[in-house]
Every structure is written in structure tokens, then in C-alpha cells.
Amino acid sequence: NNIGKTLRMIERYVRRLIEIEKRGEILKNQGVPELKETAFI
């Protein structure tokens, strides 16, 4: 029971991190294309 609760908390946390990451990528793509290209090298 406790393990399941912990796993759900971790899952929620990871999803939130992914959402933040996606938003950051979108902002980067909209704002400065040069930054995007150098970031992926």
C-alpha cells in the first residue's frame, strides 16, 4: 500500500518534470532558434 502510494507520487513528479521540460523546449523553439541548435550539439 505504501509502496503504491510512493510510486504514484514519483510518477506524478516525473510527469511534472516532463511537462516543465516540454514548456522549456517550446519557449526555446519560439524564442531563439540559434540557441536551440547549439544546445543539441
pLDDT for 5 = 94
pLDDT for 23 = 81
1-41 pLDDT, tens per residue?
799 999 999 999 999 999 888 887 777 666 665 655 555 54
Radius of gyration of the chain (CA): 16
Spatial CB neighbours of 29, under 8 Å, sequence gap ≥ 6: 36
Q: Using the CB atoms, write b or e for 1-33: b if 16+ within 10 Å.
A: eeeeeeeeeeeeeeeeeeeeeeeeeeeeeeeee
pTM: 0.53
Straight-line distance from the first to the last Cα atom of the chain, in angstroms, rounded to the nearest whole number: 44
pLDDT for 41 = 47
